[in-house]
Structures are given as C-alpha cells and as structure tokens.
Amino acid sequence: MAVFFTDLDNTLIYSYRHEIGREKMCVELYQGREVSFITKRTWELLQQVKKQVLIIPVTTRTQEQYHRIDLKIGTPEYALTCNGGVLLVQGIEDKAWYEESLTLIAECSQELKEAQALMESDPNRSFEVRNIRDLFLFTKSSEPGQSVEYLAQHTNQDLVEVFQNGVKVYVVPRKLNKGTAVRRFLKRLCVEGREEEPVIAAGDSNFDIAMLKQAKVAFAPTALEYTYQLPGNTIVLDEKRVFSEVLLEQVLQYSMKK
C-alpha cells in the first residue's frame, strides 16, 4: 500500500473565505463557528483513496488545531503535526517522537529565544508571538514581507528559516521540516516491519517543498510553481477545478496502477 503524505489547509481543506462551490461539508468548528470545509466530491474521493493508500496528514497546525478537523473518514492511523515535530498515532501523541524532535533541534534553542525577542519588538506585529512547544515560533504581521526580511537579516539562516504564509510569520529550525518528518516516519515503518512502498506527497506552500522532495511522485497547485522552484518529481495540477478534487483523482489513479 502506497503512503500518501498530504498537507491539509488549501490542499485538502479550505477556509470559509475560500470559494469551493455550494456542494461542501464543514470539517472544522472553532468556537461554535464553521471555519473549514471540503467539497462533497473531495469527501467521496477520500473514502476511495483511503482503501488504496495510507493517508498521513502532515501539517504545521498544533495538535489542538489539528484535532478540530474531522474529515469524516475516521481517525487517521498516523498524523504529523507541528511541522512534523509531533507524531499522533490513532490521535494520541507519541512522546518518544516529540522528545526526538527536541533533540534534533537542540542547537537552535538560543536562536529561537533571540528570534522571539525580535518578533516581539517588531512594530508591524499584529498578534502575540507564540512559541509552539519549543519547536518553532509564530505570529502575524500587518507588513509580513517587511517582518520576514528583518527576521531573515537578524537570525542565523544556517540554523533557522523564516516563512511567510499570508499575514502569518514563522521562524522554524531548518531540521524541523516536513521532509525530515517524512524520512523519520518511513524509517519507523521499516522498524515496524512494513514493506517499503511508493511515497506520494502533496502540498501547496513553501512549508511543503521539503516533503515533496521525499516522494516518488508529488503533486502541487500551479500557484506554487509560480513562486518557488519545485523538485523534478512534482506534477503541477491545473486549478481550474478545486485542487483537492484534482489531487485525489490523481492519487487514486496512481495508486491503482501499483
């Protein structure tokens, strides 16, 4: 069975602000409000794909944020949250994985402290600075481009990366990326005695590129190709339709050939 590592936001699920048509289902409630949706077609395809591949959500969301999502296909056997720093097995945190993640990025602890001070003093900051379980930093900015440029100039880029996603700004250890998480997870599957299977990956942002590189075949939307250089194994999908639908159709076709 192939392993399918997939981002969630704007890859499978969409904010209420994103137009995906009328045939949609709510998959996330926050403070009583419907905030994220999938199309009905996406849900139908997910049920088919689940029979063919091992679906592993890989997200920068925290556990709390991840647990708000219900794709209505049952609890995934595995999920990687906090940009791969936390592994959930049947929805429950694997403590050893988290401790290993902290060890992996131990050299960045002082750099993260200094970056947090820079973020807190940023006049463009429009949200509190959050330290996500000593793994990475997050805030929002009214001028995210300026904030990212400033942080990049004043942090050690050999140790950390600075990301922008809309108004959101992140400082993340270079070793804490989705690609590293995929490699760690595949090693775990081998230890568990599972046969090596083809790896599929999909994502829509800069956070996902390291993960796409680890796959035999990867999928991304056209918009990502316009902004970043994608690895050669990546198939860019036309976004004339909802990306999640086109993506899952491709994953299903690919898995059924194997």
Answer for the pair 229, 25: CB distance below 8 angstroms, yes or no: no
- CA distances, 48 to each of 53, 106, 238, 249, 251 (Å): 9, 41, 22, 10, 10
pLDDT beyond 80 at 257: no
Q: pLDDT tens digits for 85-106?
A: 999 999 999 999 999 999 999 9
User: In the β-sheet with 53-57, what is the strand arrangement from edge to edge?
Assistant: 53-57, 2-6, 199-202, 217-221, 234-237
Record: fold of 2-102+176-257: Rossmann fold (3.40.50)
Structure confidence at residue 161 (pLDDT): 96
> Which 3-state string (H, E, C) describes the chain?
CEEEEECCECCCEEECCCCCCCCEEEEEEECCEEEEEEEHHHHHHHHHHHHHEEEEEECCCCHHHHHCECCCCCCCCEEEEHHHCEEEECCEECHHHHHHHHHHCHHHHHHHHHHHHHHHCCCCECCCCEEECCCEEEEEECCHHHHHHHHHHHCCCCCEEEEEECCEEEEEECCCCHHHHHHHHHHHHHHCCCCCCCEEEECCCHHHHHHHCCCCEEEEEHHHHHHCCCCCCEEEECCCCCHHHHHHHHHHHHHHHC
CB–CB of 57/51 below 8 Å? no
Give the pLDDT score at 231: 86
* pLDDT tens digits, 117-151: 999 999 999 999 999 999 999 999 999 999 999 99
Residues 212-250: pLDDT tens digits? 999 999 999 998 887 788 888 899 998 788 999 999 999
What residue segments make up the domains of the chain, in order of their start?
Answer: 2-102+176-257, 106-173
Please report the pLDDT score of residue 66 as a whole number: 98
pTM value is: 0.94
CATH number of 106-173: 3.30.1360
Report how far apart, in Å, the C-alpha atoms of 205 and of each of 59, 60, 239 are: 11, 11, 15
Token output for 138:
């997050």
